[in-house]
């Protein structure tokens, strides 16, 4: 009896799905896929020093005299005073959205801020200032599509800002797929 019910339900569902598929195909496709999570350009350009924070997702490292810089993937840079290697001291965190790389010369730190390269004055690490921004140096291929993914996704609209991630969503008539 219970089995019968299940079969009925299954048949009913099958009809519904066939029916709805027909209806939708006449108008627009509705599928599950991924859509980009954006960060606005205003937020993306919010580069500033803040108090030291815990390291959570470390990326690359860079050494300059007694300082060590550790990238926090996509978030910014931890500045560490390593005058005493047995007791390294986190002195500040520089918030740089979309950052993965860095290099230092003199008192200037060069870093990527999404596709831009910025030059920061490090004279006072706890209060850095932007000296210059060079827009669109880096190509952003990786952020135009979700990595290691096959299926539909919502095309990236660069006017909405930079892509910081992807989330599952029901997409209507997606024009992009992998």
Partner 1 sequence: MKSKLTYLIIASVMLIINACSKDNGDISYDSRSGQGGSMARFAIKGNYLYVVDNQSLNVLDISNLDDPQFIDKIEIGFGIETIFPFKDNLFLGAQDGMYIYDITNPESPSQTSVYEHITSCDPVVVNDSLAFVTLRNGGSCQTGFTEDQLDIIDISDLDYPINLVSHEMTEPYGLGLDSIILFICHGEEGLGIYDVSNIYSLKIVDFKTNISAYDVIPYNKNLLVVGETGFYQYDYSNLNNITLISQILIGE
- Residue 63 binds partner 1 (CB under 8 A): yes
**Cα–Cα dist 147/86, whole Å:** 39
Q: In what order do the strands lie in the sheet with 152-153?
A: 162-172, 30-39, 152-153, 176-177
- Residue 86 binds partner 1 (CB under 8 A): yes
Residue 79 and residue 71 in contact, taking contact as beta carbons nearer than 8 Å: no
**Cα–Cα dist 108/120, whole Å:** 6
In angstroms, how far apart are the furthest CA atoms of the chain? Answer: 81
Among 2, 54, 150, 170, binds partner 1 (CB under 8 A): 54
- Residue 145 binds partner 1 (CB under 8 A): no
Among 34, 80, 92, 128, binds partner 1 (CB under 8 A): 80
- Residue 81 binds partner 1 (CB under 8 A): no
* Minimum distance of partner 1 from residue 113's CB (angstroms): 12
Nearer residue to partner 1 within complex by CB, 31 or 62: 62
**CA 171 to chain CA centroid, nearest Å:** 21
Nearer residue to partner 1 within complex by CB, 24 or 138: 138
Nearer residue to partner 1 within complex by CB, 9 or 103: 103
Collapsing DSSP to helix, strand or coil, 107 comes out as coil
For residue 110, the surrounding DSSP H or E stretch is strand 108-113
- Residue 141 binds partner 1 (CB under 8 A): yes
* Cβ-based neighbours of 91, under 8 Å, separated by 6 or more: 52, 79, 80, 81, 125, 126
* Interaction pattern, residues 98-127, with partner 1; x per rule: CB under 8 A: --xxxxxxxxx-x-x----x-x-x------
Query: Which spans of this chain sit near partner 1 (rule: CB under 8 A)?
Result: 54-65, 67-68, 70, 80, 82, 85-88, 90, 100-108, 110, 112, 117, 119, 121, 131-132, 134, 137-139, 141-142, 147-148
């Amino acid at each position: 009896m219970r089995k019968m019910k299940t079969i009925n339900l299954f048949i009913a569902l099958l009809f519904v799905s066939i029916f709805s598929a027909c209806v939708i195909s006449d108008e627009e496709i509705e599928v599950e896929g991924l859509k980009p999570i954006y960060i606005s350009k205003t937020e993306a350009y919010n580069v500033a020093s803040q108090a030291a924070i815990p390291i959570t997702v470390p990326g690359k490292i860079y050494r300059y005299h007694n300082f060590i810089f550790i990238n926090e993937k996509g978030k910014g840079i931890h500045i560490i005073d390593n005058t005493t290697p047995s007791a390294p001291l986190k002195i500040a965190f520089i918030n740089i959205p979309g950052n993965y790389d860095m290099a230092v010369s003199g008192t200037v730190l060069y870093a990527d801020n999404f596709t831009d390269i910025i030059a920061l004055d490090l004279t006072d690490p706890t209060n850095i200032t932007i000296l210059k921004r060079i827009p669109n140096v880096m190509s952003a291929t990786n952020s135009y599509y979700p990595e290691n993914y096959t299926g539909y996704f919502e095309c990236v609209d660069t006017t909405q800002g930079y892509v910081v991630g992807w989330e599952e969503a029901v997409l209507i008539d997606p024009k992009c797929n992998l």
